[in-house]
Amino acid sequence: MPYAIVTGASQGMGKVISEKLLAEGFSIAVCARSKDKLAALQAEWNEKYPTASIIAYDADLTNKDEVAAFATTVLAGFPEIDLLVNNAGMYLPGTIADEPDGLLDQMIGINLYSAYHLTRKILPVMKSRGKGHIFNMCSIASLRAYPNGGSYSIAKYALMGFSENLREELKESGIKVTAICPGATYTPSWEGSGVHPSRIMEASDIAAMLWSAYNLSPQADVETIVIRPVKGDI
């Protein structure tokens, strides 16, 4: 049985990706800040996927010690890690000149440092086996500046840089690194926005692209996936 880690999995893309992996026969370890949401999901998934091992851990991934504790729990429970999805993230709009003091630290903490610190904890296990696949959930904000991107966009640019450096370092190890850059995708953050769900992508689209990239031959790595609504960005 293959084993995966998905961060930020209590809702939205992380939840849908987790369910796709469970449906494909994975055991998964997930984390998020909401203990109640995770408990409800674990109960639901245990009933729907009885053969899977599921670790649900509440953690604030901006806290390095909590990242380490999550990784320790996962590595104690799973014999190997085949797939790591660094999905935890947060969007708060702003402009560099006017956004609240501390916003950059907050955006870097959740959108970059969470992936950096967790990846460093998991890499030794992947390296020992000479295989694995790391997906970093970047954004179209990783590719170009746009109004009110502010510190969020800075953090997502940094996550893309992390992805590219990591890929370069690991290319002789058999470990793949893929950056996924979605445009507007319908998740709970869009509820109440006034944007009709048909105007933007579905979270299942992102899960399908991840699964397709994961299933390529061992010698092929999709480096960057850019996926936008058919009518363009919002």
Amino acid at 143: L
pTM value is 0.96
Active site (annotated) includes residue 116: no
> Which pLDDT score, from 0 to 100, does residue 187 have?
85
Active-site residue identified among 49, 57, 113, 152 = 152
> Which pLDDT score, from 0 to 100, does residue 190 have?
78
Domains contained in the chain, CATH given: 3-227 (3.40.50.720)
Each residue's pLDDT tens digit, 114-146: 999 999 999 999 999 999 999 999 999 999 998
| pLDDT tens digit at each of 234 positions of the chain | 999 999 999 999 999 999 999 999 999 999 999 899 999 999 999 999 999 999 999 999 999 999 999 999 999 999 999 999 999 999 999 999 999 999 999 999 999 999 999 999 999 999 999 999 999 999 999 999 989 999 999 999 999 999 999 999 999 999 999 999 999 998 887 777 888 888 999 999 999 999 999 999 999 999 999 999 999 988
Q: How does DSSP assign the chain, residue by residue? A: --EEEEES-SSHHHHHHHHHHHHTT-EEEEEES-HHHHHHHHHHHHHH-TTS-EEEEE--TTSHHHHHHHHHHHHHH-S--SEEEE---------TTTSPTTHHHHHHIIIIIHHHHHHHHHHHHHHHHT-EEEEEE--GGGTS--TT-HHHHHHHHHHHHHHHHHHHHHTTTTEEEEEEEE-SEESGGGTTSS--GGGSEEHHHHHHHHHHHHTS-TT----EEEE--TT---
Are the C-beta atoms of residues 104 and 151 closer than 8 Å to each other?
yes
Backbone angles phi, psi at 33, to 5 degrees: -80, -30
> Which pLDDT score, from 0 to 100, does residue 174 have?
96
Each residue's pLDDT tens digit, 174-186: 999 999 999 999 8
Are the C-beta atoms of residues 229 and 183 closer than 8 Å to each other?
yes
